[in-house]
Amino acid sequence: MRSAFYFIIIFFTLAAAGCAKLDGVPEGTYTTGNFYRTEADAISAVNAVYSGLTSSYLYNQFMEVIQSQGTDDCEWGFGRNTSNTDKTALDKFTFDPGTNLFYQFWSTSYQVINRANAAVEGIGAMTAIKDDKKKRLQAEARFVRGLMYFNLVRLFGGVPLQLAPTASLNNLAVKRAAAEEVYAQVIADFQYGAENLPPAYDAANVGRATSGAAMAMLVKTYLTQKDYTKAVEEARKVMAPGRYSLWPSYQDVFLIANENKNESIFEVQFLSGSGNIPSSYAGFYRPSFDKRPGFGGNGDNPVTKNHYDAYPEGDLRKDVNVIKYPYTGDPKAPATIKNPYYVAKFKDPAALNVNDGGNNYYIVRYADVLLMFAEALYLSSPGSTEALEAFNQVRRRAHGLPLNAPSAIDLAGGLGASAFQDSVLKERRLEFAFEGHRRFDLLRTGKLKQAVNAQDPAIIVRDSDTLFPIPSQEMDTNPLLKQNPGY
């Protein structure tokens, strides 16, 4: 069960913070020499890497803010409180190097990278672990490191490439690597994972990175780089019979009882309740005037009318993804709010408070691989019926139809490559709404400015806004950094 995995994560996180006494080692004196002794030490180090993903500055809030708030899917204003200056700046594209959200995301990502580097190096030097177990644990750490660099390079461009743990306060200034170098390291880390991670774990270790997760992230990386041949090749491995399958119903994907099953490839693990690491999304999305189940939420990332209207008739994803509040009844939206649309995903009726949810956060799931496969195959082989079938399986599920039977809502053949990619982009918008994909998808297809202006023509999106600025705090402390153009 996940509880065992959570206990180890929580234990090591607290131990690392408080330096509890273990085996007679005085507080505050953990080093690679006295910590990396046993297999349990190595597992704890890797679990600390995973625990970094649960930070509110990464996958427990900020990643979703970046992916949705700064796109055509979510908006501030129109009668809502806009006192959060960072989120308003992201929403209206008025951000600059001093926008604190970027610094928190950047610095927390590098904290996770440093944990991963320490685990890779420390475990590599151990003699008390069998070689295959050593490689697996290093592969887990490298998978997370690859994920962090993949996020950073897509958002900021070339970034400092640090592959060894910080051992002292000397020589901390590191120049930016070229984006191509960062992508090469991302691919190397995911490839190592594909070769050394198992396809699955026992019940006590569910939630760890698998070989399928590494291959799925390679698909995403190759697609981002427009290497369609390699993207298709990796996707076929993930799509091999017996690995993963779509849930028959779209709403089943997001039930807490269904976490880490069927369609799941890699999720950030959360668990509600005292002493656990809960998700904040259940309360993060729900507005303050909706006090079910007993407390109001934050109302963050309110949904645009543009997104709400994008769902075609009969698309069952609409009610799973978005809730439209009425102006009468209970709960009701204040009359001052022009578009009372909010995110409906990530519900946890058992949540104890606004920050307590048991909803995991998807990094990649099987529907994602199907649509990436369809896009890469069609762009490399226009007219491919196999690509169309992969696309249509996802669309059929959205309309409650059998996955493998042709239907009236299928995307027809005969589209040019560009038109097909536009269809995939729209399908991805509806399928992965508020799951951390929208900005990356718009950047990859070159449609960020077009999409934001279609939602709100008043927002000025500059060409330079396709990359975020290097945080000013980092520029001040690292004289070797150079700022992105336009900032």
Q: Which of 141, 136, 144, 107 is nearest to 121 (CA)?
A: 141
- Residues near 403 by beta carbon (within 8 Å), at least 6 away in sequence: 246, 248, 393, 396, 397
pLDDT, tens digit, 9 for 90 and up, residues 235-252: 999 999 999 999 999 999
- Split at pLDDT 50, 70, 90, the class of 361 is very high
Q: What is the pLDDT of residues 67-86, one digit of tens each?
A: 999 899 999 888 887 788 89
Q: pLDDT category, 471, cuts 50, 70, 90?
A: very high
pLDDT(254) > 50: yes
* CATH code, 37: 1.25.40.390
**pLDDT at position 26:** 35
Q: How many domains does the chain have?
A: 1
Residue 12 clears pLDDT 70, i.e. is over it: no
How far the first Cα of the chain sits from its last, in Å, is: 48
Provide the pLDDT for residue 77. Answer: 85
Percentage of the residues of the chain whose pLDDT score is greater than 70: 92
pLDDT band at 63 (very low <50, low <70, confident <90, very high): very high
Evaluate whether 238 touches 215 at the Cβ level (below 8 Å): yes
pLDDT at 24: 31
Structural domain containing residue 163: 1-169
How much is the pLDDT for 4?
Answer: 42
Give the confidence band of 445 by pLDDT, cuts at 50, 70, 90: very high
Average pLDDT over residues 139-167: 96
User: What size, in residues, is the chain?
Assistant: 487
Assess if residue 474 is contained within a domain: no
Q: Give yes or no for residue 175 having a pLDDT over 80.
A: yes
What pLDDT does 32 receive? 55
**Res 293 pLDDT > 90:** no
When pLDDT is cut at 50, 70 and 90, the band that residue 2 belongs to is low
How confident is the model at residue 330, as a pLDDT?
92
pLDDT tens, position by position, 39-55:
999 999 999 999 999 99
User: In this structure, is residue 242 part of a structural domain?
Assistant: no
Q: Is residue 11 very low, low, confident or very high in pLDDT (cuts 50, 70, 90)? A: very low
- Quick one: 16 exposed, middle or buried, by C-beta within 10 A (0-12, 13-18, 19+)? middle
Instruction: List residues bridging with 303 in a β-sheet.
Output: 74
Is there a domain that residue 203 lies in? no
Query: Which of the pair, 282 or 337, is modelled with greater confidence?
Result: 337
Could you tell me if residue 419 is inside a domain? no
As given in the structure block, the two tokens for residue 295 are 């407390």
What local confidence, expressed as pLDDT, does residue 9 receive?
43
Looking at residue 31, its pLDDT comes to 57
Looking at residue 366, its pLDDT comes to 98
pLDDT reading at 342 higher than 90: yes
pLDDT value of position 482: 97
Q: Is 241 a domain residue?
A: no
Q: Worst-scoring range by mean pLDDT, 77-81, 275-279, 359-363, 415-419? A: 77-81
Q: Which of 22-26, 65-69, 125-129 has the lowest mean pLDDT?
A: 22-26
Query: Is the pLDDT assigned to residue 168 strictly greater than 80?
Result: no
pLDDT at 23 over 60: no
| pLDDT of amino acid 461 | 96
Asked which of 40-44, 296-300, 399-403, 432-436 is least confident by mean pLDDT, the reply is 296-300
SS (H, E, C) the chain: CHHHHHHHHHHHHHHHHHCCCECCECCCCCCHHHHCCCHHHHHHHHHHHHHHCCCCCCCCCHHHHHHHHCCCCECCCCCCCCCCHHHHHHHHCCCCCCCHHHHHHHHHHHHHHHHHHHHHHHHHCCCCCCHHHHHHHHHHHHHHHHHHHHHHHHHHCCCCCCCCCCCCCCCCCCCCCCHHHHHHHHHHHHHHHHHHCCCCCCHHHCCCCCHHHHHHHHHHHHHHCCCHHHHHHHHHHHCCCCCCCCCCCHHHHHCHHHCCCCCEEEEECCCCCCCCCCECHHHHHCCCCCCCCCCCCCCCCCECHHHHCCCCCCCCHHHHHEEECCCCCCCCCCCCCCCCEEECCCCCCCCCCCCCECCCEEEEEHHHHHHHHHHHHHHHCCCCHHHHHHHHHHHHHHCCCCCCCCCCCCCCCCCCHHHHHHHHHHHHHHHCCCCCCHHHHHHHHCCHHHHHHHHCCCCCCCHHHHCCCCCHHHHHHCCCCCCCCCC
Q: Above 90 in pLDDT, residue 38?
A: yes
CB 113 within 8 A of CB 149: yes
Mean pLDDT of the chain: 91
What is the pLDDT confidence band of residue 155, given thresholds at 50, 70 and 90? very high
Residue 405: pLDDT above 60?
Answer: yes
Mean pLDDT of 431-445: 97
Nearest CA to 110 among 204, 19, 198, 176?
Answer: 176
What's at 93, amino acid-wise? F
More confident residue, 353 or 176: 176
Angle at 461 between CA 460 and CA 464, to 5 degrees: 135
Whether 229 is in a domain gets the answer no
pLDDT surpasses 70 at 142: yes
- Burial class of residue 414 in the structure, from the number of CB atoms within 10 Å of its CB (0-12 exposed, 13-18 middle, 19+ buried): exposed
